[in-house]
Amino acid sequence: MPRPALKSITEEERISLKDSFKGWRSIPRFFREIYQAGPGLFAGNIAARILKAFGPVALLWVGKLIIDEIVRLLQEEGADMGTLWRYVAMELGLALLTDLLGRVVNLTDGLLGDLYSNASSERIIRKAQELTLEQLEDPKFYDKLERARTQTSSRVNLMSNVLGQAEALLSVGSLIAGLIFFEPWLIVLLFLSIVPSFINEVRYSSQRYSLARSWTSERRELDYLRYIGANTLTAKEVKLFGLTGFLAARFKNLAHRYYLLNRRIAIRQSLFGGLFNLLGVLSYYGAYVLIIYRTLGGLLTLGELTFLSGSFNRLQGSLQGLFSRFTRISESALYLKDYFDFIDLHIPAPELEPVPLPQRITRGFEFRDVHFTYPGSKTPILKGVSFTLRAGEKMAFVGQNGAGKTTLVKLILGFYTPTSGQILLDGMDISRFDPQAYRDRFGVIFQDFFRYEFTLRENIAVGNIDALDDEGRIMEAARKSLADSVVREVEEGLEQQLGRRFYQGQELSGGQWQKVALARAYMKDAEVMVLDEPTASLDARAEYEVFRRFIGLTKGRTSIIISHRFSTVRMADRILVLDAGRIVELGTHEELLEKGGLYAELFHLQAAGYQ
Ligand SMILES: Nc1ncnc2c1ncn2[C@@H]1O[C@H](COP(=O)(O)OP(=O)(O)OP(=O)(O)O)[C@@H](O)[C@H]1O
């Protein structure tokens, strides 16, 4: 699909100057979170910063005392030098203390940053888990998640910036007090030199944020291209199909367009920034001349001259730092708002109190005229599905690719709610049960199960993570799914790291992975078993064995099998044949063959293939 020539920030996405201050509202909550991450470190950091803030003015003041004392000594021959050395010792002490405090601040900043970044990343993982699949698949939610996730390091910088800002404010306050005491006019000059460049900074930083925000999904695409372009999982296909050029060009195109937009803002910011800075330099020299005149007129001592020019110079630097930090904070605080927006995302709570699940399933599941369209899509996938899956029954779902078999399973598991119609368990709408308690009753393996690059033990235990240390149960599940052979085949047994991403990891074959994933379904003593194409990668003997065991092990348990292999399907008590979202046949293998409909046709087609 051709892209628009150059996507700039739309009016709706543009963040105004006023908006850019909005992020500041999140700062108090941010600090509560940091405090919770490390109360002791936080208190230590604040205390060190408060002390350190008075360092510059104290040093300048002692400098003034030293110079005035030297002048006095030069004028009064033979005077006692004790005071001078006391001042020098004081300055040395102050310099050492300031250095020490600086180190304490850096150390506690770093440690607090680590703790906070860990805590906020964990919060994001937990929140993402609370979201429904519908929300996670919605690109808008996904963008929010992305912004919250990718800005972790910026939040850590924000922390030290805000703390540094508070310190700088104190420091600036103390320097200003000194200036006001001797020469109030200097303050006016000072602000004149700083304010224009401050406004410039705020303006451009909010523009940069707007741009980054309006490009969230493009940046997601860039990340994705980076991922498939350099990844062991995709390397085979990328090499085989010679995709490198295609991927690199696509990446370059998109990245370059972002670069151009960003460059435009950066150049303007730098141009205007330079101009306003010039104002600052001129005003410094204006102030310098003023102080020199006052000193020559005998209104100020030499010590006061160095104190004032030193204070002015320092203040200018500090104020500039204060203002530019202010814009940096405003910018990061807007990202912070994204993070809190994500953490506060509304998770639709059930309207009614959940009802308790039945102790044991007695009647089974019933679909009543279920229609379903995926959120954000217009194509109906299920079109009036009605059937009953009796308690203890083994049912197979059969149908061509895209017929809606997996969708049926996702609805039974409550991942999505039907667009219309009802799904009942023992006569109660499944939406009335607590979702987690309800799903705990299921042992499921999906066709697109995930290959966790964890140890073999963990890969099986994810089916019931509370039993991670229960070796007996894990091995039992492995035996049931034939994964015990995999445990024997790998060097480290259950402790073998799987996949190639981590050190000493071992990759498994497709069939081995499938056996491991299948073991997850056996980790619980689940009342309902759902196997969605659990044998697609298995060899014929393994497949036969998996099913023979499955049938034996699930005697009396309700189960659903999705498979394209009729040798498997025929073992089910009843077979549901789905065609383009409608049930076209439902019955036993023999009944359906006799009927001579779609099932019989597909069965004979496959049987012919084996002859
Ligand atoms: N998350 C989703 N969002 C939108 N559409 C989806 C989603 N998942 C599946 N679909 C669409 O729903 C239809 C049915 O998919 P489903 O996975 O249920 O088919 P299936 O019968 O299990 O197919 P297969 O035999 O290929 O596994 C397909 O057309 C698919 O494109």
* Per-residue pLDDT tens over the stretch 189-204: 777 777 777 777 777 8
- Which two structure tokens, joined as six digits, stand for 2? 């051709």
The residue with tokens 């005149």 is 293
The SS3 of residue 391 is: coil
The reported pLDDT for the residue numbered 592 is 93
Q: Which amino acid is at 430?
A: I
Across all residues in the chain, what is the average pLDDT? Answer: 85
Query: Can you tell me which atom of ligand 1 is nearest the CA of 407?
Result: 18
In this structure, the residue with its CA closest to atom 26 of ligand 1 is 401
User: From residue 516, how far is each of 60, 243, 462, 506, 544 by CA, in Å?
Assistant: 70, 32, 11, 14, 17
Order of strands, sheet of 528-532, starting from the edge strand that comes earlier in the sequence: 442-445, 528-532, 558-562, 394-399, 574-579, 582-587
Q: Is 404 in the pocket of ligand 1 (CB under 6 A)?
A: yes
Burial 66-93 (b: 16+ CB within 10 A, else e): bbbbeeeeeeeeeeeeeebeebeebbee
* Amino acid 16: pLDDT: 57
Domains and CATH numbers, the chain: 20-343 (1.20.1560.10), 364-610 (3.40.50.300)
Assign 86 to helix, strand or coil.
helix
Examine the pLDDT at 5 and tell me if it is beyond 80.
no
pLDDT at 11 over 50: no
What HEC string does 166-207 produce? HHHHHHHHHHHHHHHHHCCHHHHHHHHHHHHHHHHHHHHHHH
Nearest CA to ligand 1 atom 28: 402
- Other CB atoms within 10 Å distance of the CB of residue 493: 14
Q: Is any atom of ligand 1 closer than 6 Å to the C-beta of 576?
A: no
Of the candidates 33, 323, 303, 95, the residue with the CA atom closest to the CA atom of residue 201: 323
Q: Whole-angstrom Cα distance, residue 219 to residue 37? A: 30
CA distances from 291 to 278, 294, 310 (A): 20, 5, 11
Asked whether residue 1 carries a pLDDT value surpassing 90, the answer given is no
Min mean pLDDT across 37-41, 88-92, 145-149 is at 145-149
Cβ atoms of residues 284 and 186 within 8 Å: no
Instruction: Say if ligand 1 is within 6 A of residue 387 CB.
Output: no
Beta bridge partner(s), residue 389? 365
* Burial of residue 265 (number of CB atoms within 10 Å: 0-12, 13-18, 19+): middle
* 364 pLDDT tier (thresholds 50, 70, 90): very high
- Token pair recorded at residue 315: 């203040």
Lowest mean pLDDT among 308-317, 375-384, 398-407: 308-317
| Cα–Cα dist 446/10, whole Å | 42
Q: In what helix (H) or strand (E) does residue 540 lie, and over which residues does it extend?
A: helix 540-553
Best mutation site among 135, 405, 444 for ligand 1 pocket (most ligand atoms within 8 Å of CB): 405
Q: Please give the Cα distance from 62 to 170 (Å, whole number).
A: 19
Measured in Å, how far apart are the chain's first and last C-alpha atoms?
45
Q: Residue 404 C-alpha to ligand 1 middle, in angstroms?
A: 6
Distance CA 149, CA 131 (A): 15
Provide the residue count of the chain.
611
Q: What does the pLDDT look like over 100-115, one tens digit per residue?
A: 999 999 999 999 988 9
Tokens representing 292 are: 């020199």
ipTM value: 0.96
Looking at residue 609, what is its pLDDT? 64
Q: Is the pLDDT of residue 19 over 70?
A: no
* Torsion sign (Cα): 224, 226, 229, 234: negative
- Which band of pLDDT confidence, cut at 50, 70 and 90, is reported for residue 15? low
The protein residue whose alpha carbon is closest to atom 4 in ligand 1 is 374
* pLDDT score of 20 more than 70: no
Residue 235 or residue 22, greater confidence: 235
Contact 545, 552 (CB under 8 A): no
Task: With H, G, I as helix, E, B as strand and everything else as coil, classify residue 238.
Answer: helix
Q: Cβ contacts of residue 186 below 8 Å, gap of 6+?
A: 179, 287, 290, 291, 308, 312
HSE value, Cβ hemisphere, 13 Å, CA-based, for 88: 8
> Which atom of ligand 1 has the smallest separation from the CA of 564?
25
User: Buried b / exposed e across 517-536, counting CB within 10 Å, b at 16+?
Assistant: bbbbbbbbebbbbbbbbbbe
The residues near 447 (Cβ < 8 Å, ≥ 6 apart) are: 406, 532, 533, 536, 562
Token readout for 595 is: 């009927």
The minimum-distance atom of ligand 1 relative to the CA of 533 is: 27
Task: Please say whether the beta carbons of 193 and 284 come within 8 A.
Answer: yes
Banded model confidence at residue 149, pLDDT cuts 50, 70, 90: confident
Tokens of 312: 């002015």
Q: Is the pLDDT of residue 2 over 50?
A: no
In angstroms, rounded to a whole number, what is the distance separating the alpha carbons of residues 28 and 149?
20
pLDDT band of 14, cuts 50, 70, 90 = low
Give the mean model confidence (pLDDT) for residues 391-398. 93
Instruction: Quickly list DSSP for 140-170.
Output: HHHHHHHHHHHTHHHHHHHHHHHHHHHHHHH
Dist CA 300 CA 309 (whole Å) = 12
* Residue partners of 204: CB distance under 8 A and separation at least 6: 265, 268, 269, 272
Say yes or no: CB of residue 399 within 6 Å of ligand 1: yes
Compute φ and ψ for 396, nearest 5 degrees: -110, 140
Mean pLDDT of 169-179: 88
Over residues 446-463, mean pLDDT: 89
Strands (E), 7-121: none
Return the structure tokens found at 264. Answer: 């435009």
pTM for the whole structure: 0.70
Cα(408) to centroid of ligand 1, in Å? Answer: 10
Q: What percent of the chain has pLDDT over 90?
A: 33
Alpha helices in 215-301 (DSSP H): 216-229, 232-240, 244-296
